[in-house]
């Protein structure tokens, strides 16, 4: 049976360096994500795809990782069928929020869930190599998932190191961008710290610079930090544990899960993320109906109230 008989493409939800992603539906009516890679035009070769699929198969039961359902050939195209994240990516949730940033209470819960996924990956051991807001998804159930294993590496032993420069420059650890890179799972921990910075500030450090300039800069400047008014001390301490120049000084995912910042949300369910997902749903409607977002409506109401108060004073003052 061909992949076209098994799955129907509904809409395109994204495109990246490793193919396009579509919302799809199977014969039973279940919504899935369809990652389609055209081997004629993409840089990937069959070996790369086979490695990614083998890794996804191995991670099928991993917590907080997008579930893999199968892989199909369709002429020069490869279809990889995955769990669909109705809530969108953390980046999409940021863009639907005021100033393109997420509030710390949401970031805290998302990072807690990402740590669960990273703990599992790093025990396998697998380096994701591209941890960033765009690669963290939220399902309709509020489940947080790490996605996109196109550049992930399976290490032979937990102590192994990789020596290929890959990932997205702004989130790369200093050891990854060295002339002769050598790194392990601690590179993901650095990227996790940068992702917190990204979600709180709206973009990663040095986002105003060209990628090649950033790669030159990262090993030469001090690790980025947030200022006191940009987040709690516990969050800033957590980031400091991630963003150490020396990989050996960075706390592993299991230890980071025991920090004060993560423990503070131990009893907070992921359902809190429904609040942010509603912003994204509204942003989608707004695109077609030009409706204001929640925070825009609040600001508008506030302005109207202030105007009413001003004009309820004596007329001479208003004039």
Domain ranges of the chain: 3-83, 90-273
pLDDT single digits (tens) 71-87? 998 888 889 999 999 89
pTM of the model: 0.82
pLDDT tens track for 160-190:
455 555 568 899 999 988 877 788 999 999 9
Q: Which of 130, 148, 184, 188 is catalytic?
A: 130
Share of the chain above pLDDT 90, in %: 58
DSSP string for residues in the chain: --HHHHEEEEEEEEEETTEEEEEEEETTS-EEEEEEEETTTSS--HHHHHHHHHHHHHTTT-TTBPPEEEEEEETTEEEEEEE--TT-BHHHHHHTSGGG---HHHHHHHHHHHHHHHHHHHHTTEE-S--SGGGEEE-TT--EEE---TT-EE-SSTT--B----S-GGG--TTTSSSS--B-THHHHHHHHHHHHHHHHSS-TTTTS-HHHHHHHTTTSPPP---GGGS-HHHHHHHHHH--SSGGGSPPHHHHTTSHHHHTTTT--GGGGHHHHHHHHHHHHHHHH-PPPHHHHHHHHHHHHHHHHHHTS-HHHH-
Fold held by 3-83: Phosphorylase Kinase; domain 1 (3.30.200)
CATH fold match for the domains 3-83 and 90-273: no
What is the fold of 90-273? Transferase(Phosphotransferase); domain 1 (1.10.510)
35 carries a ligand binding annotation: yes
Decide if 130 is catalytic: yes
Average pLDDT over the chain, rounded to whole? Answer: 84
* pLDDT at residue 290 is higher than 60: no
């Amino acid at each position: 049976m061909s992949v076209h008989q098994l799955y129907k493409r509904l809409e395109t939800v994204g495109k990246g360096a490793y193919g396009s992603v579509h919302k799809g539906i199977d014969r039973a009516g279940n919504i899935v994500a369809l990652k389609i890679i055209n081997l004629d035009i993409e840089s990937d070769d069959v070996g790369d795809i086979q490695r990614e699929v083998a890794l996804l198969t191995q991670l099928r039961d991993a917590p907080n990782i997008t579930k893999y359902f199968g892989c199909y050939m369709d002429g020069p195209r490869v279809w990889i069928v995955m769990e669909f994240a109705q809530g969108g990516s953390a980046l999409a949730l940021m863009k639907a929020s005021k100033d393109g940033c997420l509030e710390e209470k949401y970031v805290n819960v998302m990072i807690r869930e990402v740590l669960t996924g990273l703990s599992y990956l790093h025990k396998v051991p697998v380096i994701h190599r591209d941890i960033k807001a765009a690669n963290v998804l939220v399902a309709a159930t509020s489940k947080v998932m790490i996605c996109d294993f196109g550049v992930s590496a399976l290490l032979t032993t937990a102590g192994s190191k990789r020596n290929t420069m890959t990932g997205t420059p702004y989130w790369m650890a200093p050891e990854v961008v060295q002339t002769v890179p050598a790194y392990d799972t601690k590179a993901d921990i650095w990227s996790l710290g940068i992702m917190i910075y990204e979600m709180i500030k709206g973009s990663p450090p040095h986002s105003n610079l060209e990628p090649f300039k950033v790669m030159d800069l990262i090993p030469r400047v001090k690790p980025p930090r947030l200022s006191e008014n940009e987040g709690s001390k516990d969050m800033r301490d957590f980031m400091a544990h991630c963003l150490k120049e020396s990989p050996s000084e960075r706390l592993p995912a299991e230890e980071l899960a025991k920090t004060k910042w993560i423990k503070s949300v131990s009893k907070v369910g992921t359902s809190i993320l429904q609040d942010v997902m509603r912003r994204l749903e509204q942003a989608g409607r707004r695109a077609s109906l030009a409706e204001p977002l929640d925070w825009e409506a609040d600001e508008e109401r506030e302005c109207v109230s202030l105007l009413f108060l001003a004009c309820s004073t004596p007329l001479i003052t208003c004039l």
